[in-house]
Amino acid sequence: MKSISRNIRKVSMATVGAGLLVGLTAATALAADPNGADTIKEDPTKAVNYSWTLICAFLVFFMQAGFALVEAGLARTKNTVNILSKNFMDFCIGGLAFFAFGFGLMFGGSALAPGLEIGNPIVGLSGFFLTGDAYDVGTNELWIFQMVFAATAATIVSGAMGERTKITSYMAYSFLISAIIYPIYGHWAWGGGWLATLPFGVGAKDFAGSGVVHAVGGLVALVGAWMVGPRLGKFGPDGKPRIIPGHNLAYVVLGTFILFFGWFGFNPGSTLAATDLRISVIATNTFLAGVTGAVVTMYYSLMRTGKADIGLACNGALAGLVAITAPCAYVAPWASVVIGALSSFVLLGSLWFVENMLKVDDPVGAVSVHGANGLFGLLCVGIFADGTYGGVSGLIAGNVDQLIAQLISMAAVTVWALGAGYAIFALIKATMGLRVSREEEITGLDITEHGVNAYPPDEVVVADGVPVSTPVGSARGVALV
Amino acid sequence: MKSISRNIRKVSMATVGAGLLVGLTAATALAADPNGADTIKEDPTKAVNYSWTLICAFLVFFMQAGFALVEAGLARTKNTVNILSKNFMDFCIGGLAFFAFGFGLMFGGSALAPGLEIGNPIVGLSGFFLTGDAYDVGTNELWIFQMVFAATAATIVSGAMGERTKITSYMAYSFLISAIIYPIYGHWAWGGGWLATLPFGVGAKDFAGSGVVHAVGGLVALVGAWMVGPRLGKFGPDGKPRIIPGHNLAYVVLGTFILFFGWFGFNPGSTLAATDLRISVIATNTFLAGVTGAVVTMYYSLMRTGKADIGLACNGALAGLVAITAPCAYVAPWASVVIGALSSFVLLGSLWFVENMLKVDDPVGAVSVHGANGLFGLLCVGIFADGTYGGVSGLIAGNVDQLIAQLISMAAVTVWALGAGYAIFALIKATMGLRVSREEEITGLDITEHGVNAYPPDEVVVADGVPVSTPVGSARGVALV
Amino acid sequence: MKSISRNIRKVSMATVGAGLLVGLTAATALAADPNGADTIKEDPTKAVNYSWTLICAFLVFFMQAGFALVEAGLARTKNTVNILSKNFMDFCIGGLAFFAFGFGLMFGGSALAPGLEIGNPIVGLSGFFLTGDAYDVGTNELWIFQMVFAATAATIVSGAMGERTKITSYMAYSFLISAIIYPIYGHWAWGGGWLATLPFGVGAKDFAGSGVVHAVGGLVALVGAWMVGPRLGKFGPDGKPRIIPGHNLAYVVLGTFILFFGWFGFNPGSTLAATDLRISVIATNTFLAGVTGAVVTMYYSLMRTGKADIGLACNGALAGLVAITAPCAYVAPWASVVIGALSSFVLLGSLWFVENMLKVDDPVGAVSVHGANGLFGLLCVGIFADGTYGGVSGLIAGNVDQLIAQLISMAAVTVWALGAGYAIFALIKATMGLRVSREEEITGLDITEHGVNAYPPDEVVVADGVPVSTPVGSARGVALV
């Protein structure tokens, strides 16, 4: 970390220099306004648009808590602190990585705000560290909104690799996905890159990130879960998967509620403007796809097993939410119900395929929820877009072109996320190692990696006639100072 | 469910046809604008008003998590998954029911937005499925806000019927309350119906739904809890109630915090406009009534028992919040303190009455918190409205008329909610049955209805020398695909 | 409590009378507008500014849940209900205290809104009970935002005094800090008092309350924890501190996520205006300081012990958030990273100092997170303010003056919070007593003060052949009516 930090300035200067050679995109540079007084004078609607965008960003931030709870609930007690730590640290480390590198690689050349002038269709090359002209209210508004999206992509992976991955390796991964993997595809789709300007339809469209956030996260999760290998005992000697239940379904349900709540920031907020009143339709669509995903999945489980599987229904809701994320602005409410219903079958099919065909152990279903349905969401734009918004028309509006752009985008994200994911996990495996030892895994990662239990009993040791302490670990680190 | 879905289109067409015969309300039809560009051009303040309304709707949505936690905390461990599942599924199913039927029955004829032109003072008859002219940004804005209110009413019932009601029956109930019961009274009060135009005061007033949401939910809960019967062992052979403690008070407190948080969307958001600056007074009133309800209840418990009963204090806060919901816009801050204090006694009296006189078993106190205080809130409008807002003046402003309108509204909601509640539960009881068997209830609904425990222990079964699985159930449904 | 309530009116009248003698501040009185129609007509930007401020206030309110969870997680099982009750009741009681006394003492004389005309540089003397001209939309907007800040300061103390303080005494403390201690220093800094007009720099600056909220809360917590004494067994016979682990790390992480989420209301909301576009930079700065605090602390724990201490990392995030709270509007993003990194060392140093030098037992680290870093945040304004906003320039902009104002402010808050904190705890100790008995502490406060367990087992007692009840306590108070 230290050498990285020391070299950050040098690297960013070098990158900018390289960018100048590779090619410039933006023509006019906007003047930086770190105070905001000039910006609001020029355009008074910025007040409501900043307010909207920031509050939505805060809601998206809160999704981190939802991911943490869902993943902790689906983990065993002995790995609870570990999965919570990963979920907490990935947005922290990812935040710094996106500040230093990711944002510049993603939005450089987009000219969406001051300081983002340099870049080319493949990669952005300006805006690093939010310095220079990027110290501007508009650039910072864009940054905080994009930051919480990057953090969402990063945190999807933790659950799929849960219960056996080293925390230090996971933290290194967090840095790399937020600094490099997420931003590059993000640049192609949202930062002025080549996908947005494809000569089919209006170019590939991904309104709020089924592809940019969820497919990237879910596909990197697939690579990670495959490379770290299944948990001990997950597959029997006959290769058949066994069920390993998580330790707290209340966390799973609460986490899903939080994720659903945050999604209302994720999708409607992606207009970056409240003056765009389509936000109300987007909110409705988001709601309908999510609830339909849950209802279809729940009745499927009831019909199939006679039991109401709430864990699966939660994943059904999330599947619907992921699938509607790309098309949410382009489709009508009825189509959201259809998309939500279909997302449930995409989820169920993918869960079966990943576990039984690929023999990959994904303890939380992240690959199916985010990866499969992320791709499906990109596809839905090409099918269900009705032409009422942004000029995007899909099959139901009699237009085939848009579907082609979407298919190219799906191919691009698949190749990039699997390839780049493989590269970083191979790098980490070769240097730090990915997986804890067999003994550590059996003991549980909480004790071996963190020195604590998630739920220490009140008292075990008696001192001076008073019960005071447990023999193992500490819930806080005072003693170590 | 399937036949219902199949017939939805037919039914809605038939209903619209009937509506044309029964009578039309609205004169001019608004033009539908699914894109929003025309709407914002006509009225630029829509940006801040949509933004405000949507964010408040998101906060109200999050109250679902609060209800789930409060009810799960007050349930026993063995029924935790069940109560969480009910809270999760009721907003999902209710959402689809409100999309298909409820919204049209409630707001048809209100002419509040495009596509809502047809209806009469008794029932709305347009806007079903958000199709046609209802595919409009304004109609969708209204829909999402009203949707989360409908979901709140629906979820109030789950706790009162907790720990003994079949999940499939509860899901059928969710559909019916959101499709029919909630919308009909809602139409009378908010959708252009007869209560709003009563010739007393300015007509019956219920600013944010003490009556529409809470009294409806609480009174249907009373019918439901009575019809499903008390939990085994709740009443002794002498008819005296016994205490059956819930399993997690931390959930109860966290859930109450979430509900209080969401109430700031519920009440101030009900202006549907940030240009109406009364929102600040509404927020203050909401806060003050809630905290006063908690403080009075807490000191009552301390004086009466010497113990600080936090579960009761949480219900005290909720009682204050429910009571202020109708009058929140019409009263001054000092009156909110008075209303909050009185709500505590309404709560305590009702808890005693329901359990000892009616012999109804309401494990969470929903009937008293939402039903009794919902009615009390309607009454408070007629007493404490000071005339500073909306022309609503109550007794303290020397006006008796408004009180008459409020009393009529209280009578209407009581008759409707008890009657319609009885009808749907009788229907469900006759067809699907309401209650699990004695054996299932003793075992707990988590195992019998869901096949899982809420908190599975880490390991019980050892395979290939590695501990892998518990013998009972799964925290997710991968295996069932 | 009763006599207090009875005398409230009298006291407030007397105080206003005294104020008139002491000296008036404000010149022109604004006209009260309880309806809001005149206010919006005069200034249409109020819509977006009220909307922004209120939603941010709601987010800050939600931080109460975060504090409750962090503190409950760091407490032992046997004291869980107690710490949750304190966190719940302090904002309720503090809310009423701030309504009655605090707001008037803090903002009287500020003339920030109608009804706040009377006051002097030492103390405010108008606005009590929000009556008279203070029944105004602007005054209520200010009130609700300031109220949730006051509640934050109050709740900081509960954790530091956790696991041994009587609940009734804690509730008395809640009243006094919100009625008197918090508002007086608040008046000096934000309510038109002497600190804001110091003849150094632009006067002492504390943008969102590192000093007003966190240093006050953290320093009162230090006094409280010192006066109530350490928990039994915390220090061995040799005076060395022992670790007493909390009972649920998942609560700690979830609580920290909620606090971080709420901080986005705390800091950016403190502009009280969305027309001030600096809000985007403030959000970015808040995020960066928080994540850097976590990352530095986490890697410190890894290097020092080989274990990843998530509890400490959570406190690291909070330390960064506290430290950035005062300077958040005045500094550039890069400086936020530096401040966040330094805050981690302030935290670690203070944790060591409080426990090993002062021998004070602070179970949650509140003194170090809020007290030490609150002071540090005030200091950072004088160092890192870059002059781009509000005319505030620190050392890095070549200005020493501002640093002097900040040092005076740090001295003032230290003297006031320690002194006034000592006075109220001495008063409570002398009258009601502060601490539970040795026996009660060993048994746990949940049973002795609340008569319940946090997590009652499902069944112990069998009646009529059906298991129904636990022998101890109730999760709700129905039976006591």
Question: What pLDDT, in 10s, does the model give residues B69-88?
Answer: 999 999 999 999 999 999 99
Instruction: Please tell me which of the candidates C64, C85, C168 has its beta carbon nearest to residue B310.
Output: C85
The pLDDT score that the predictor gives to residue B466 is: 56
Read off the pLDDT of each residue in C2-25 and give the average, rounded to a whole number.
41
> Is the pLDDT at B467 greater than 60, yes or no?
no
Top pLDDT among A243 and C48 is at C48
The pLDDT score that the predictor gives to residue B31 is: 82
Alpha-carbon gap, residue B79 to B447, rounded angstroms: 8
Packing angle, helices B373-384 and B216-228, rounded to 10: 150
Cβ of A258 and B167 within 8 Å? Answer: no
Do residues B224 and B142 lie in contact, with contact meaning Cβ atoms separated by under 8 Å?
A: no
pLDDT band at B10 (very low <50, low <70, confident <90, very high): very low
Cβ neighbours of A444 (radius 10 Å): 24
Read off the pLDDT of each residue in C23-49 and give the average, rounded to a whole number.
82
Instruction: Please tell me which of the candidates C46, C99, C138 has its beta carbon nearest to residue B288.
Output: C99
> Is the pLDDT at C13 greater than 50, yes or no?
no
β-partners of residue C1 are: none
Cβ of C96 and B295 within 8 Å? Answer: yes
The pLDDT score that the predictor gives to residue C478 is: 37
- Amino acid identity at A332: A
Question: Phi and psi dihedrals of C90, rounded to 5?
Answer: -65, -35
Cβ neighbours of A120 (radius 10 Å): 18
Nearby residues of A258 by Cβ (< 8 Å), 6 or more positions away? A62, A63, A65, A66, A69, B62, B65
What's the Cα-to-Cα distance from C403 to each of A343, C14, C334, C382, rounded to whole Å? 58, 39, 20, 4
Instruction: Report the sign of the C-alpha dihedral through residues C246, C248, C253, C255, in that order.
Output: negative
The pLDDT score that the predictor gives to residue C352 is: 97
- Nearest Cα residue in chain A from C252: A475
Q: Which chains touch C (3 or more CB pairs under 8 A)?
A: A, B
Do residues B286 and B63 lie in contact, with contact meaning Cβ atoms separated by under 8 Å?
A: no
Cβ of A480 and C260 within 8 Å? Answer: no
The pLDDT score that the predictor gives to residue B461 is: 55
- Nearest Cα residue in chain A from B138: A280
Whose CA is closest to B164, among B257, B211, B230? B230
> Is the pLDDT at C5 greater than 60, yes or no?
no
Cβ of C481 and B352 within 8 Å? Answer: yes
Q: What are the chain B neighbours of A333 within 8 Å (beta carbons)?
A: 99, 129-131, 135, 140
> Is the pLDDT at A3 greater than 90, yes or no?
no
Q: Tokens at residue C453, please?
A: 């367990």
Interface test with B, best of A287, A296, A303, A351 (most B CBs within 10 A): A287
Alpha-carbon gap, residue A257 to C372, rounded angstroms: 36
Enter the ipTM.
Answer: 0.92
- Nearest Cα residue in chain B from C134: B333
Mean pLDDT for all residues in chain C: 91
Interface test with A, best of B35, B42, B58 (most A CBs within 10 A): B58
Instruction: Please tell me which of the candidates C73, C277, C314 has its beta carbon nearest to residue A40.
Output: C277
Nearby residues of C95 by Cβ (< 8 Å), 6 or more positions away? B287, B288, B291, C147, C151, C178
Q: Tokens at residue A278, please?
A: 């389509």
Burial class of residue B471 (count of CB atoms within 10 Å of its CB; 0-12, 13-18, 19+): exposed
Instruction: Report the sign of the C-alpha dihedral through residues B303, B309, B314, B319, in that order.
Output: negative
β-partners of residue A201 are: A203
- Nearest Cα residue in chain C from B238: C464
pLDDT tens per residue, range B270-308: 999 999 999 999 999 999 999 999 999 999 999 999 999
Q: What are the chain C neighbours of B245 within 8 Å (beta carbons)?
A: 452, 456, 469-470, 473-476
Q: What are the chain C neighbours of B341 within 8 Å (beta carbons)?
A: none
- Amino acid identity at B404: I
Alpha-carbon gap, residue C96 to B43, rounded angstroms: 40
Cβ of B309 and C477 within 8 Å? Answer: yes
Read off the pLDDT of each residue in C213-228 and give the average, rounded to a whole number.
98
- Nearest Cα residue in chain B from C61: B261
Read off the pLDDT of each residue in C162-191 and give the average, rounded to a whole number.
97
Q: Tokens at residue C247, please?
A: 């009972």
The pLDDT score that the predictor gives to residue A11 is: 37
Exposure of A69 in the CB half-sphere (CA atoms within 13 A): 27
Cβ of B304 and C89 within 8 Å? Answer: no
pTM for this prediction: 0.93
Instruction: Please tell me which of the candidates B1, B137, B479 has its beta carbon nearest to residue A278.
Output: B137
The pLDDT score that the predictor gives to residue A476 is: 39
Mean pLDDT for all residues in chain B: 91
Read off the pLDDT of each residue in B251-277 and give the average, rounded to a whole number.
98
> Is the pLDDT at A26 greater than 60, yes or no?
no
Would you report the helix, strand and coil content of chain B in percent, each value rounded to 5? Answer: 65, 5, 30
Cβ of C54 and B264 within 8 Å? Answer: yes
Cβ of B332 and C135 within 8 Å? Answer: yes
- Nearest Cα residue in chain A from C330: A35
- Nearest Cα residue in chain B from C473: B245
Which of A26-35, A62-71, A464-473: highest mean pLDDT? Answer: A62-71
The pLDDT score that the predictor gives to residue C251 is: 98
Q: What are the chain B neighbours of C85 within 8 Å (beta carbons)?
A: 253, 308, 310, 313
- Nearest Cα residue in chain A from C268: A54
Cβ of A99 and C288 within 8 Å? Answer: yes
Packing angle, helices A46-73 and A137-160, rounded to 10: 10
Alpha-carbon gap, residue C252 to C67, rounded angstroms: 9
Do residues A282 and A329 lie in contact, with contact meaning Cβ atoms separated by under 8 Å?
A: yes
- Closest-CA distance of chain C to residue B407, Å: 26
> Is the pLDDT at C214 greater than 80, yes or no?
yes
Exposure of C182 in the CB half-sphere (CA atoms within 13 A): 34
Q: C-alpha angle with apex A330: A328 to A331, nearest 5 degrees?
A: 75
Percent of chain B having pLDDT more than 90? Answer: 87
β-partners of residue B235 are: B241
DSSP assignments along C197-249, one per residue: G-SSBTB---SS-IIIIIIHHHHHHHHHHHHH-PPTTSB-TTS-B-----S-H
What's the Cα-to-Cα distance from A476 to each of A374, B383, C49, C254, rounded to whole Å? 38, 53, 40, 15
- Location of structure tokens 């009655």: C100
Whose CA is closest to C37, among B318, B271, B425? B271
Q: What are the chain A neighbours of B103 within 8 Å (beta carbons)?
A: none
Nearby residues of B254 by Cβ (< 8 Å), 6 or more positions away? B69, C65, C68, C69
Antiparallel, parallel or unpaired: β B466-469 and B461-463 = antiparallel
Instruction: Please tell me which of the candidates B40, B80, B480 has its beta carbon nearest to residue A250.
Output: B80
> Is the pLDDT at B9 greater than 60, yes or no?
no
CB pairs A-C closer than 8 Å:
265
Alpha-carbon gap, residue C8 to C78, rounded angstroms: 37
- Closest-CA distance of chain C to residue B397, Å: 15
Exposure of C379 in the CB half-sphere (CA atoms within 13 A): 13
Cβ of B450 and A309 within 8 Å? Answer: yes
Lowest-pLDDT choice from A63-67, A233-237, B123-127, C376-380: A233-237
> Is the pLDDT at C240 greater than 50, yes or no?
yes
Q: Tell me which DSSP letter residue A432 carries.
A: T
Cβ of C333 and A72 within 8 Å? Answer: no
- Nearest Cα residue in chain B from C474: B245
Cβ of A47 and C51 within 8 Å? Answer: no
Q: Which chains touch A (3 or more CB pairs under 8 A)?
A: B, C
> Is the pLDDT at B465 greater than 70, yes or no?
no
The pLDDT score that the predictor gives to residue C421 is: 98
The pLDDT score that the predictor gives to residue C31 is: 82
Interface test with C, best of B80, B277, B355, B441 (most C CBs within 10 A): B277
Instruction: Please tell me which of the candidates A274, A295, A317 has its beta carbon nearest to residue B51.
Output: A274
Q: What are the chain B neighbours of C92 within 8 Å (beta carbons)?
A: 290-292, 294-295, 298, 313, 317
Antiparallel, parallel or unpaired: β A461-463 and A466-469 = antiparallel
β-partners of residue B467 are: B462
- Closest-CA distance of chain A to residue B367, Å: 24
pLDDT band at B4 (very low <50, low <70, confident <90, very high): very low
Q: What are the chain C neighbours of A466 within 8 Å (beta carbons)?
A: 232-233, 442
Whose CA is closest to B212, among B336, B106, B341? B106
Question: Phi and psi dihedrals of B437, rounded to 5?
Answer: -75, 165
Cβ neighbours of B419 (radius 10 Å): 12
Do residues A149 and A214 lie in contact, with contact meaning Cβ atoms separated by under 8 Å?
A: no
pLDDT tens per residue, range B27-53: 455 689 999 999 999 999 999 999 999
> Is the pLDDT at A252 greater than 90, yes or no?
yes
> Is the pLDDT at A7 greater than 60, yes or no?
no
Cβ of C68 and B291 within 8 Å? Answer: no
